[in-house]
Amino acid sequence: MKRSLTLPKRNKLLLSAVALFIPTGLWAIHPKSAGPESFEIRFKLPPPKVLTPEEELATFKIAPGFHAELVAAEPMVESPVAVAWDRKGRMFVCEMRGYMHDVEGAGEDQPTGRVVMLEDTNGDGKMDKRTVFADGLLMPRALMCVNGGLIVSEPPNLWFMKDTDGDGLADVKESLDASYGTAGGQPEHMANSPTWMLDNWIYSANHSKRYRLKDGKLIDEVTGLRGQWGMAQDDFGRQFYNSNSDFLRSNLIPESL
């Protein structure tokens, strides 16, 4: 007996859509299909005005009851992507100086990144002293103050850096994890934003491990993946993060329960 297989109409449509999508997707990522080689700009807009830090500050829209103050600006800081404060009020800034110098990403394979330490020496609330804490880093992207030093992300390493002699320069550099992102990968999709949460674990965006300091050592365990960029928590320890598709997501109930 011969039997014929008849797909429901919905499945037929699904298969047709998949068949149509595959070649279209392949064409879309082909470097020669990026667009016309020559084109006319019909709307010639003037370049935006470069604002001073004070002018830029005046454009901020602040929630009632809050205000913003200028802490540091160029040349005190350059290409900042992450900031952390230690218990002494010093401001550590991760400078990703190699990112996107042009549309081809030229220079991203050069170790031009830095971590700098900014200090307010006269108590006026503005940073007036800059010290290069760590130099020669390749596309660093995250940092967090912990245990008298800093956790610094330089894919694929998560480093612990510390100044032990008080000169402001990191003389300790230990790898805590050699799988915190990948070397030479797409910068927009690397682990970032290590954040110490109320459950005493350090979580990161776009990373499936969490870390805890125990007996002076950082231990880790596998956890769920959280968003792509940035981590935060509220007063109850609920985690907040986002992705390129969502402005904000939250773990209302910890997945570890």
pLDDT digits (tens, 9 = 90+) for 96-113: 999 988 888 888 899 999
Q: Please state the pTM of the whole predicted model.
A: 0.79
Backbone angles phi, psi at 58, to 5 degrees: -70, -15
Tens of pLDDT, residues 63-100: 999 999 999 999 999 999 999 999 999 999 999 999 98
pLDDT band at 43; cut points 50, 70, 90? confident
User: Residue 115 in contact with residue 131, Cβ under 8 Å?
Assistant: no
Distance separating alpha carbons of residues 139 and 150, to the nearest angstrom: 17
For 34, 40, 104, 186, the CA distances from 31, given in Å and listed in that order, are 6, 21, 12, 17
Task: Indicate the average pLDDT of the chain.
Answer: 85
pLDDT band at 57; cut points 50, 70, 90? very high
pLDDT at 34: 64
User: Residue 196 in contact with residue 179, Cβ under 8 Å?
Assistant: no
pLDDT at 31: 55
Please check the confidence at residue 10 and state whether its pLDDT lies above 70. Answer: no
Tens of pLDDT, residues 186-207: 888 889 999 999 999 999 999 9
pLDDT at 25: 40
How distant is the alpha carbon of residue 177 from its chain centre?
17
Please check the confidence at residue 5 and state whether its pLDDT lies above 90. Answer: no
Mean pLDDT of 43-51: 87
Tens of pLDDT, residues 13-41: 333 333 333 344 433 444 555 667 777 88
pLDDT at 257: 53
For 40, 67, 118, 122, 152, the CA distances from 71, given in Å and listed in that order, are 43, 13, 10, 13, 22
Take residue 101 and report the two structure tokens written for it. Answer: 């110098």
